[in-house]
Structure 1
Amino acid sequence: MSDALEVRNRRWSTLVWGAIPVALLAGALVIDHIPGTSIRLTVPYAAEGPGPVFDTLGDAGGEPVVDIEGTPTLETGGQLNMTTVSVRTNMTLGQAIGRWVATDDTIVPIEQIMPPDSNEEQTREMNQQAFVASEASATVAAMHYLNRPTTVAVHDVVDGSASDGVLRAGDRIVKVGEADVDTPSDVQQAVRAKQPGDTVELGIERDGQDSTVSVTLGENPHEKGQAMLGILMNSEPAGGVSVHYNLNDVGGPSAGMMFSLAVIDKLTPGELNGGKKVAGTGTIDEDGTVGPIGGIEHKIRAASDAGAELFLAPRDNCPAVKGAHAGAMTVAAVANLTEAVNAMDAYAAGRDVPTCD
């Protein structure tokens, strides 16, 4: 065997054997479990990127995204888009690297998406609960902004509590003693002014009928001497008004502000957005306070790609907003519903809007 042939053979051996680790690595990049077993090979990271955009003034699945009953609604124009973040989990190493290299996704530890000791189904349920809670807060915030009356609804009764067997889920509390109440805090203040063991008269509405019930107050197990009814409460519009939100497969609380603005727009004359394409995000409290959310850079990107002209961002998100790619879109910083409405009015009129700068 000549020296030249020996060199060629050695090189071929090196190529062949050297390719085996590469092939094994390539396989590890794409398979999500060890063949023949249930052992998963996914990485403990998630990818966040721009998600779908929904016009809260429009329809989804053949139904209005925001559907108001019990009171006349008015014509709207333009758009009020709520934005979302798309989250990808259960990625293989190759998929995670691919999204990091080829997209603008953010790769984050899975703990930022899924709380420790919880699975995907539990996380999905928690996000759905947060979404439902944000819907209720959005409705009440809009009613307060419009100076429309609200009432206190019993969401649930704690088993074995003072109200167990007296109040029911769905009851509306309109009086505590002789005092009218229209928010849960009104009820709490009236009850906490009494002592455990005191009897309180509650004026309630049940199945369309007014009645009065008596509750002997219990004691808060976490606060000695503090009286409590033992119920979970939330606010609802009064006068037979109801608001329904028709979006599926969306979770979390960040649609709150845009839902509130859609309710306000449908119940007031004219176009709240001045006929412009407006997008935004932010949690909402019943008093109209707008709170920060996660993934805002992806939501700004999604809104810009969808052609939005103005984006309403929570003021507390300003540090992240400054690094986002907004393109030609104006990003306004707002802290409450009033500031959000004023920002849209200013933009439509060609005036400066408050920004993070």
Structure 2
Amino acid sequence: MPRRSATMLAATLLLIALLCVSVLTKVPYTEMSPGPTYNTLGMQDKTGKPVISITGHESYPTSGHLNMTTVQVTGAKYEPSLVSAVVGWLRGDVLVVPHDNVYPKGQTDEQAKRQNAEEFASSEDSARTAALTQLGIPVGAELIVKSVAAGAPAEGKLHAGDQIVAVGGTPVTTPEDVANAVTKHKPGELVMFTVVPRVKDANANGAKADPAASTDVAVVTRRAGDVDPTLKPDRADAAMVGIVAGIRHTYPFQIDIGLQDVGGPSAGLMFSLGIIDKLTPEDLTAGRFVAGTGTITDDGRVGPIGGISMKLIAARDAGAEYFFTPAANCAEASKATPSGLTLIKAETLDGALKSLEQVRSGQTSALPSCTK
């Protein structure tokens, strides 16, 4: 075989080998892409029911869109090939990120779904609280069992959602009160919890537990270090029952937020705006198409989210004209803004409402911008 032909054959075989290696080699990355958007003023696709429904308080007609945006993420077990990852990096509508950024410490799909569901429920609660606080409507609070550890002394006796009235006969009002009351005991001692058993759907609609339904539940403490060997010595000998206490807000009327197969905390701002739009006679959008993202705190502060570039594409493809962008995401968003979409910097719920007023009046040149 002539040397030239042999060289070409060797180069071809090497190229084929490299292509095979790149196709077969798996890399530790996760792919994100634009997900569906949901109009918080509209109806659920699967059930035909409103995304936000108000019961027990006057509500008003709405128009336009206040769309929350989502990102689709590949599963925890998905391992793209090197070729797939490179193609994703080159595309504008796919975001390739390190696997551990999305699924930390080997998190499974089931664990991720559970975490996303918990974050979504917390986001709904904060959205209700922020919206009603903005409108000057009183919001109550009650101390509850937030979670119970598997295999802990409290498992099967206390349940997530139970309202905690007292511990050891002493009234409690904060999670710290509960922790202090338990750690006053020695491991192996009995602690009496006075609780109001959870109310069905209380987390979903803000239903307040009935104090008259309280009952006493006895739990025997255990040494914390026997449950968690990683604890430092100063904490290992403390008594524990295996619960995490938290605060659940209560509302003077029912606000249901119904979306299926959606998780995470990033819809908080748009839920708050949707609730306010339904509770006030003013049409917040005046028929315009506004989308956005951002976490929300109880006092109305807007926080950052992940996958902003993919959410911008999702909003543009859905038809949005304006997009609420958390201030902390502005730098990234301003570099990836699709044509025809105007970014509105959002720092607080009150600020977002003022921006919507400017959109309604047509004074859009004064909108807070991600470049200002």
What is residue 60 of structure 2 aligned with on the other side? Answer: 74
1:154/1:170 contact within 8 Å kept: yes
Once residues 288 and 175 of structure 1 are traced to their aligned partners in structure 2, the CA distance between those partners, rounded to angstroms, is: 31
Instruction: State the one-letter code of the partner of 1:56.
Output: T
Quick one: which of 24, 27, 41 aligns to 2:20? Answer: 27
Give the AA of the match of 1:150.
G
1:35 matched residue in structure 2:
none
Greater alpha carbon shift after TM alignment, 288-297 vs 41-50: 41-50
Instruction: Give how far 1:78 is off.
Output: 0.5
8 A Cα contact 2:300 2:349, kept in partner: yes
For structure 1, which runs of at least 5 residues remain unmatched after alignment?
Answer: 1-5, 33-40
How much does 1:150 deviate? 3.0
Q: What is the correspondence of 1:1-357 to structure 2 with a 5 Å cutoff?
A: 9-30=2-23, 32=24, 41-58=25-42, 59-64=44-49, 66-68=51-53, 70-72=55-57, 73-88=59-74, 89-146=78-135, 147-152=137-142, 153-156=144-147, 160=153, 169-172=160-163, 187-188=174-175, 196=184, 209=210, 210-211=212-213, 232-239=245-252, 241-248=254-261, 250-351=262-363, 352-356=366-370, 357=372
* Stretches of structure 2 lacking an aligned partner (at least 5 in a row): 186-190, 200-208, 225-234
Q: Structure 1 266/148 Cα, relative in aligned 2: closer, same or farther at 3 Å?
A: farther
Describe the SS at the equivalent of 1:63.
coil
Q: Deviations for 1:264-322, whole angstroms, at most 9, x for unmatched residues?
A: 22222232223211111111122222111122122223222322121111112222233
1: CA distance between counterparts of 2:130 and 2:165?
Answer: 19
The question of whether the paired residues in 2 share the 8 Å contact of 1:135 and 1:245 is answered with no
Q: Quick one: structure 1 residues 144 and 101, their matched pair in 2 at CA, closer, same or farther if it must change by over 3 Å?
A: same
- Offset from partner CA, 1:69-96 (integer Å, 9 cap, x none): 5324332110011112233452111111
Distance 1:120 1:20, change over 3 A: farther
Amino acid in structure 2 at the alignment position of 1:20: L
Contact 2:162 2:196 in 1 (8 A): yes
> For the residues of structure 2 that align with 1:328 and 1:319, how far apart are their CA atoms?
18
3-state SS of the aligned residue for 1:263? Answer: helix
Contact 1:157 1:232 in 2 (8 A): no
Whichever residue aligns with residue 79 of structure 1, its letter is: H
1:98 deviates by 1.7
Aligned to 2:232: none
Residues matched between the structures, number: 332
Length-normalised TM-score, structure 1: 0.75
Q: TM-score, normalised by structure 2?
A: 0.72
Distance 2:82 2:133 in 1: 49
How large is the RMSD of aligned CA atoms in angstroms?
A: 4.0
Distance (Å, rounded) in 1 between the aligned partners of 2:85 and 2:242:
50
Asked if structure 1 preserves the Cα contact closer than 8 Å seen for 2:40 and 2:65, the reply is yes
| Equivalent residue, structure 1, for 2:227 | none
Secondary structure of 2:106's aligned partner: coil
Deviation at 1:65, TM superposition (A): 5.7
SS of residue paired to 1:116? helix
Q: Residue 140 and residue 63 in structure 1: after superposition, are their counterparts in 2 closer, same or farther (change >3 A)?
A: farther
Q: Is the 8 A contact 1:141 1:284 kept in 2?
A: yes
